[in-house]
Amino acid sequence: MFYLTACSANDKLRMGKQRTFIITHSDSAGKMISETWTKEKLEGLGMQVISNEYFDRAMHWNESRFSVINFSHLLKRFILKHGEDAVLLNCFDDYQGILSLADIYRYDLRLATNITLTLENSKPSWLNPLLILVPDGKRPPFQERFMTANIRELKFVRLNKYYAPIEKTAGSSPEAQEGIEAFKNNCLFCHSLKGVGGNKGKRLAEAYGFLAERDRKKFMIDFKKFHHKNNEDKQDIEQFITQEKLERIVDYLVVIAKS
Ligand code: HEC
């Protein structure tokens, strides 16, 4: 069988011969410091080779293989003194993932340092290590949240501080509350809101006038036109979201437009 590896020769992420990543945390005095980690140093924490159902399902592929380390083994290397309860995942392509430490432990998440795909699949440009993986047998909800790739920096943060600018934006409407949760779990990583999140996609609250019926319809149509199963760049977000949840997201964006 033939394999295509994600580390192509012209890979921009390579620095000299080694691929490096940044880990940012605060020292005992509360000062933020960044450490450079190489792929080899990460793999030194105990590398395994695995296949992965959750990833293959989301990509509509099979038999992908990965070199991984246990994320929890990496976490143990850091002493957190300032209430940090999450890791922000800053990516090379303006994607910004975030995972709570609780989820990393609960689902025993892995970090892939190498990705090997079967040749029949073409690799989207964003699919590079580090990549978050849910090991087989663990069953978190099926969400974009657990699909972060292309990670260049891991940064320890506090969830309530990170989400603070959007915390109260859903108001008291239960529909909008449901919408904000769906948005946080599936969209915010690429479509930032109030300065929170990634900027791989456009800012949706600014691109559409959610108070107008026409724009709300257009939003739904545009979503389906882009984020479907056959999206060329493998950005099938539709699979993570029901029509009902998508409507709750619109309810939420209407509340934001009114405020
Ligand atoms: C992996 C990153 C990513 C995620 C996650 C993501 N999007 Fe997108 N989205 C994009 C990109 C890139 C485009 C292309 C156009 C652009 O720049 O917005 C896009 C386009 C769109 C469009 C069409 C915009 C247009 O002008 O045609 C809509 C609507 C949209 N996304 C909604 C969503 C919603 C709702 C979610 C969550 C359920 C979501 N997206 C999750 C990256 C993402």
Each domain of the chain, given as residue ranges in start order, spans 3-157, 162-258
Please state the atom number of ligand 1 nearest to the C-alpha of residue 219. Answer: 29
**139 C-alpha to ligand 1 centroid (Å):** 26
| Cα(187)–Cα(46) distance, integer angstroms | 33
Spell out the CATH class of 3-157.
alpha beta
pLDDT of residue 168: 87
Q: Whose CA is nearest to atom 11 of ligand 1?
A: 201
Q: Whose CA is nearest to atom 2 of ligand 1?
A: 190
In this structure, what DSSP letter does residue 245 have?
A: H
pLDDT of residue 218: 98
Q: Which residues line ligand 1 (CB under 6 A)?
A: 95, 144, 186-187, 189-191, 200-202, 204, 207, 219, 222-223, 226-227, 235, 237, 241, 249
Q: Whose CA is nearest to atom 32 of ligand 1?
A: 223
The ranges of the chain with pLDDT < 70 are: 1-18, 119-121
**Residue 9 DSSP SS3:** coil
pLDDT of residue 120: 59
Structure tokens at 119: 């040749």
pLDDT of residue 121: 61
- Buried/exposed 151-189: b ≥16 CB within 10 Å, e otherwise: bbbbbbbebeebbeebeebbeeeeebebbbebbbbbbbb
Structure tokens at 94: 């303006």
pLDDT of residue 180: 97
Please state the atom number of ligand 1 nearest to the C-alpha of residue 182. Answer: 38
Please state the atom number of ligand 1 nearest to the C-alpha of residue 126. Answer: 1
**259 C-alpha to ligand 1 centroid (Å):** 23
**89 C-alpha to ligand 1 centroid (Å):** 19
pLDDT of residue 103: 98
- Nearest CA among 247, 84, 252 for reference residue 168: 252
**129 C-alpha to ligand 1 centroid (Å):** 22
